[in-house]
């Protein structure tokens, strides 16, 4: 029923011209192209839908599968290991991860390891582990991959990394849709959305688009002030802290005297 509700929009997408060389092509859309982060932002739902446009009849003998990924801005990050020494926990080793998405989710029509080959995963960097790049770990660390696994576990627990197998609905091997939950702790930037069509565990077509995530209102002003004028931001923060302390002490004194 949900796919049927999207049928008019998908038919409009299918009417768009397509290169003659493409046998199957992804025609996709998003429920929104911009997401605004405000003071009361608690996350957002992103509806992703699309269709498969063909120049020829559908190939026989192979099942069509769909994978959708949403990737947030990537930054380097240092992953540290803590060990107990003399009764306290201290950092004893660290690995510099060269590239780690701030947010990454994968939605599929079926089990990922059954519909995607390892070769294609390496080439397209689709699964969560393949999206993290760590090169040149210190020589004294012989299990650097454990640091990457720890980073994945932490971000999975925070709702930033996820895999949703079977979350993409595919109807008549033509129409597809899925819902992506975006958490409240999003980082600003362009979020890359990728669509993959697969047959026999190989990618036969793909498409990319972006969702723009930005702070607005007071959050935008404070963010730009902190980055552009850090001294002024520091003075403002101290003034607000002093004012809050004075207001709290005054209220406490009035309550005590009353």
Confidence at residue 59, expressed as pLDDT on a 0 to 100 scale: 77
Q: Cα dist. 123→43, 131, 165, 210 in Å?
A: 31, 11, 20, 21
Range list of H helices, the chain: 2-5, 7-14, 112-115, 118-124, 145-157, 218-228, 230-257
Confidence at residue 162, expressed as pLDDT on a 0 to 100 scale: 95
What architecture is domain 2-215? Sandwich (2.60)
In eight-state DSSP terms, residue 173 is T
Confidence at residue 20, expressed as pLDDT on a 0 to 100 scale: 40
Instruction: Quote the CA–CA distance of 91 and 136 in Å, as a whole number.
Output: 19
Q: Residue ranges of the chain with pLDDT lower than 70? A: 1-22, 82-93, 134-144, 216-229, 231-237, 256-258
Confidence at residue 69, expressed as pLDDT on a 0 to 100 scale: 96
Q: Which two tokens stand for residue 91?
A: 């950092």
Q: What are phi and psi of 123, to 5 degrees?
A: -70, -40
E strand spans, 34-172? 34-37, 44-54, 64-71, 74-85, 88-101, 104-108, 161-164, 169-171
Q: pTM for the whole thing?
A: 0.73
Q: Which two tokens stand for residue 56?
A: 């020829």
Q: Which two tokens stand for residue 71?
A: 């990737």
Instruction: Quote the CA–CA distance of 148 and 158 in Å, as a whole number.
Output: 16
Confidence at residue 22, expressed as pLDDT on a 0 to 100 scale: 45
């Amino acid at each position: 029923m949900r796919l049927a509700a999207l049928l008019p929009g998908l038919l409009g997408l299918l009417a768009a011209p397509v290169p003659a060389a493409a046998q199957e092509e992804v025609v996709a859309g998003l429920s929104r192209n911009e997401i605004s982060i405000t003071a009361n932002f608690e996350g957002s739902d992103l509806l992703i839908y699309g269709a498969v446009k063909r120049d020829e009849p559908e190939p026989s003998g192979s099942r069509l599968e769909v994978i959708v990924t949403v990737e947030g801005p990537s930054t380097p990050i240092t992953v540290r290991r803590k060990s107990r020494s003399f009764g306290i926990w201290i950092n004893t080793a660290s690995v510099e991860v060269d590239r780690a998405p701030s947010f990454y989710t994968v939605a599929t029509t079926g089990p990922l390891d059954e519909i995607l080959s390892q070769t294609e995963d390496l080439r397209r960097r689709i699964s969560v582990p393949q999206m993290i790049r760590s090169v040149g770990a210190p020589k004294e660390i012989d299990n650097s991959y454990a640091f990457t696994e720890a980073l994945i576990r932490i971000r999975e627990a925070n709702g930033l990394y996820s895999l949703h197998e079977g979350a993409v609905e595919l109807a008549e091997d033509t129409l597809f849709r899925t819902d992506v939950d975006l958490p409240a702790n999003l980082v600003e930037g362009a979020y890359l959305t990728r669509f993959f069509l697969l047959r026999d565990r190989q990618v036969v077509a793909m498409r990319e688009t972006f969702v723009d995530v930005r702070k607005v209102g007071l959050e935008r002003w404070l963010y730009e002030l902190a980055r552009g004028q850090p001294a002024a931001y520091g003075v403002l923060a101290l003034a607000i802290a002093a004012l809050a302390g004075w207001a709290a002490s005054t209220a406490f004194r009035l309550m005590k005297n009353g």
